Amino acid sequence: MHKFKKARLVKSTAAKGNYIMFYVWDKQKNDLVRQRKYIPKKYKSDAEQKAYAKDIIKQINRALSDGYHIDRKKVSKNAINQQQKASERIYSIREAATSFIEIKRAKKLYKRGIEFYDNTLERFLKWLEAKGMDSVWIGDLDYILIQEYFMYLLTERRNSAKTYNNTLGVLKTFYNVCLKQEWAEGKNPFDKMDKLPEEYGSKNKPFTNEQIVDIKEYVLEHDPYLWKTICFVYYSFMRLSEIRRLKVGDIDLKKDLIWVSGQTSKTKKRDVIPIVPALKKIILEMNLEQYHPDDYLFGSNQTPSSAKMGENYMGKHFRKVKEHFEFTDDYTLYGFKHTAVVNWYKKEKDIRKIQKMCRHSSMLMTERYLKSLGLLDDKDAVSELPEI
């Protein structure tokens, strides 16, 4: 029989309110550890809270008497069942992951975002499953186990720094939601993991002005609708996924603004982008007054419509351009945004303007972005440094 201390109701003046506290044996720590179960907010009166606590305390004490304990190396299904009986808010890691994805879906996260979260979590769950750990209580995830997983990503899966950091970001977000939903307590164990320094690669290379001249001539002759897309990428600095989700009503030609809704923006924040004269000329050619404000700006039939352009449409069409000019895989449609940044920086060297147009959250992010494009190495400025 493992040691334990029976559950009891604790009255608290803290923000989370009253809670049930008990001590359970932790096999790895070889000691009792404190556990808390907060009274749900829906129980407001003392009578309601006491009635709820009475039932939960009875279930927890029965589970403790039956031998429930924490063992991260070997967790039986029976123990998990006992946990679940003890509280409606006790989730296994797999259950928490499933509920997390449902929460993201309810927030109408775009399809690729959902798939990214889902795939990243599923890889983690499969790794845990191989260790018999995917069904442990979410609160039993600890730093040692997390360190082991990220070492596995580096040594066995050979993840790049970017993939490693993306995985860490997803798992941090996942556990933060678990804390917010009160499926777990304490601090986020993923916060102890540090990001790896990323070497910015050569993907999405900016095009030279000479290349742009040739591309424009070829595209206008063979695929003029593609040129409209290229112009949006270049002049608005928008991501391809954002452009696909733009609607006719988001274009304000009176104020020369593009309104980017939180659901459209990758950052999930409402943004506004100025329409420059060259882009306005393109937009006017689209005759938007003929379409409904809820129609997608780039529809499925090369006109605004209720059905948006297919996910791979732009990539497939630009692939023909790449094949014609024999561009390497480093050159992509998104590279036109990088081309715009390079041209603008060389003309004005105003990092603050570029930060706003790119909608970066910080100047540091913009500086790293510019360095990745081979900028911020102003040799002329350095050469003019006074002698001493």
Q: Give the strand order in the sheet containing 31-38.
A: 4-10, 19-26, 31-38
Instruction: Please say whether the structural domain 93-192 has been given the CATH code 2.160.10.10.
Output: no
Instruction: Please say whether the structural domain 209-379 has been given the CATH code 1.10.540.10.
Output: no
Residue 90 · residue 7 · CB < 8 Å: no
Place of tokens 């442990």: 136
Compute, in degrees rounded to 10, the torsion defined by CA atoms 97, 99, 105, 109.
-40
Q: How far apart are CA 269 and CA 262, in angstroms?
A: 4
For residue 153, what are the CA distances in angstroms to 25, 99, 171?
A: 31, 25, 13
Residue 79 has pLDDT above 70, yes or no: no
Residue 387 has pLDDT above 80, yes or no: no
Q: Domain residue spans in the chain? A: 4-86, 93-192, 209-379
Global pTM reads 0.51
Q: How far apart are CA 340 and CA 298, in angstroms?
A: 21
Residue 91 has pLDDT above 50, yes or no: yes
Q: How far apart are CA 284 and CA 57, in angstroms?
A: 68
Whose CA is closest to 138, among 73, 206, 189?
A: 189
3-class secondary structure, 133: coil
Q: How far apart are CA 270 and CA 272, in angstroms?
A: 7
Task: Tell me what pLDDT residue 376 has.
Answer: 57
Residue 83 · residue 67 · CB < 8 Å: no
- Residue 302 in tokens: 């090369």
Single-letter residue type at 351: I
Helices (H), 87-110: 93-106
For residue 284, what are the CA distances in angstroms to 105, 294, 300?
A: 36, 18, 19
3-class secondary structure, 33: strand
- Per-residue pLDDT of 215-250, as tens digits, reads 999 999 999 999 999 999 999 988 888 898 899 999
Whose CA is closest to 219, among 205, 203, 233, 239?
A: 233
Task: Tell me what pLDDT residue 358 has.
Answer: 80
In this predicted model, which residue has the larger pLDDT, 361 or 156? 156
Q: pLDDT exceeding 90 applies to what percent of the chain?
A: 30
H helix or E strand, kind and range, residue 23: strand 19-26
Single-letter residue type at 33: V
pLDDT, the chain, mean:
82
What would the mean pLDDT of 312-332 be, rounded to a whole number? 89
- DSSP character for 202? S
